[in-house]
Amino acid sequence: MTTLTLDALHLVDAIARRGSFAGAADELGRVPSAVTYAVRRLEDDLDVLLFDRRGYRARLTPAGEELLREGRHLLAAAEELARRVRRVASGWEQELTLALDNIIPFARLIPLLDAFHRAAPTQLRITDEVLGGTWDALLSGRADIAVGAMQEGPEPSRLGAGYRSEPIGTVHFVFAVAPTHPLAAIASPLPASELRKHRQIVVGDTSQRLAPRAAGLLGLADVLTVPSLAAKIAAQKAGLGCGFLPAHLVREELARGELIVRTTDQERSDSAMHVAWRNDARGKAVAWWLETLRRSATRAALVA
């Protein structure tokens, strides 16, 4: 039975890089005769010639090149496995998934991502969620932590014993339209009868298991559903429709006059945002995010 070990692959790799058996012996801390014997033993086991020994340099044969090419993949995989084992032993998760609610612009998360990657060996994955989709990602196991989950999802008290949540901020909503929109010329507060005449822009819920939810004005027949809050803002700036928008996301548009605020007789109340996680999530990466998100400066940077 042919025995192909990681040690043998390291030996072939060293000879190929150093160009000689003696160079490999020096790198690996072996005597040259031991390297020569090990290569001959490997060639006998595989029944192939791996090195062309003619000339000054030890050159790989086609069979040797194939062994080295595939062997380096195995060596890399073995090293990655060793790193993963060390991570587990150190308490850091191998991978962590954050479900980021669309209410928080990704750009505001970048300083936290930079700090996390400087502190942790854990690989991070981020999903973009809307409305109940942020809770859905956590409850279905698609995410380890939900960041910015809105109260339109399951009430924190209904999450069950397996989950915990904490509020991280409050979002104020404004009813906004483009200056060219017909509603811009009507005095506030806008009556429901007038609102029903116009298209509402809504963002599609990304829930996969929970029942999809809608936010904003209810009972309007003409609705345009878009994939993100950025798309909703763009659509309303273009005068394609109306709807409520998070005030912290449209401050610049309001300041430039690209959107104007109108009050309605169906004003939307402020909404609380939460960070939520599984109660059994006890790794260092989860702990890092929870500690960071509990800081008042972090919360202000995310939702101010």
Q: Specify the pLDDT at position 238.
A: 95
The sheet carrying 95-101 orders its strands as 123-129, 95-101, 145-150, 271-278, 163-171
pLDDT of residue 218: 53
Give pLDDT, residue 212.
Answer: 66
Structural domain boundaries in the chain = 6-90, 95-170+272-303, 173-269
In this predicted structure, which of 90-104, 157-171, 195-209, 287-301 has the lowest mean pLDDT? 157-171
Asked if residue 168 lies in contact with residue 302, where contact means CB atoms within 8 angstroms, the answer is: yes
Per-residue confidence (pLDDT) for residue 220, from 0 to 100: 60
Q: What is the pLDDT of residues 119-137, one digit of tens each?
A: 888 889 999 998 888 988 9
CATH of 173-269, one of 3.30.9.10, 3.20.20.70, 3.40.190.290, 3.30.470.10: 3.40.190.290
Whether the per-residue pLDDT at 44 is higher than 70: the answer is: yes
pTM, full prediction: 0.67
Residue % of the chain over a pLDDT of 90: 33
**pLDDT for the residue 1:** 52
> Residue 260 and residue 15: Cα distance in Å, rounded?
71
Is pLDDT of 152 > 70? no
Q: What confidence score (pLDDT) does residue 264 get?
A: 87
HSE at residue 37, side-chain half, CA atoms within 13 A, is 5
DSSP one-letter string for 227-238: SSHHHHHHHHHT
Do the strands 95-101 and 223-226 form a parallel or antiparallel pair, or are they unpaired? Answer: unpaired
Convert the pLDDT of each residue in 57-116 to its tens digit.
788 889 988 988 898 888 888 887 777 676 666 678 888 999 999 999 999 999 999 999
> Has residue 210 got a pLDDT over 80?
no
For the residues 251-265, what does the mean pLDDT come to? 92
Instruction: Give me the helix-helix angle, 21-28 and 32-46, nearest 10°.
Output: 110
Q: What is the pLDDT of residues 212-229, one digit of tens each?
A: 666 655 566 688 999 999
Confirm if 138 and 160 have CB atoms less than 8 A apart: no
Q: Are strands 163-171 and 271-278 parallel, antiparallel or unpaired?
A: antiparallel
Weakest mean pLDDT among 59-73, 145-159, 242-256: 145-159
- Please say whether the structural domain 6-90 has been given the CATH code 1.10.10.10: yes
Q: Is 8:38 a contact under the CB 8 Å cutoff?
A: yes
Residue 210 or residue 194, greater confidence: 194
Q: Is 219 exposed, middle or buried (0-12, 13-18, 19+ CB in 10 A)?
A: exposed
Mean of pLDDT over the chain: 85
Query: CA 4, CA 232: separation in Å to the nearest integer?
Result: 59
The residues facing 273 across adjacent strands are 150, 169
Fold matches, 95-170+272-303 and 173-269: yes
Q: What is the model's pLDDT at position 18?
A: 86
pLDDT of amino acid 157: 46
Contact indicator for 228, 128 with CB cutoff of 8 Å: yes
Percent of the chain at pLDDT above 70? 89
Classify domain 95-170+272-303 at the CATH topology level: D-Maltodextrin-Binding Protein; domain 2 (3.40.190)
Q: How sure is the predictor about 141, in pLDDT bands with cuts at 50, 70 and 90?
A: confident
Which region among 86-90, 146-150, 254-258 has the lowest average model confidence (pLDDT)?
Answer: 86-90
Q: Give how far Cα 104 sits from Cα of 130, 170, 301, Å.
A: 10, 12, 10
Looking at the DSSP assignment, which residues form a beta bridge with residue 272?
170
Q: What residue spans of the chain are helical by DSSP H? A: 6-18, 21-28, 32-46, 62-90, 106-119, 132-139, 192-195, 229-237, 251-256, 284-293, 296-303
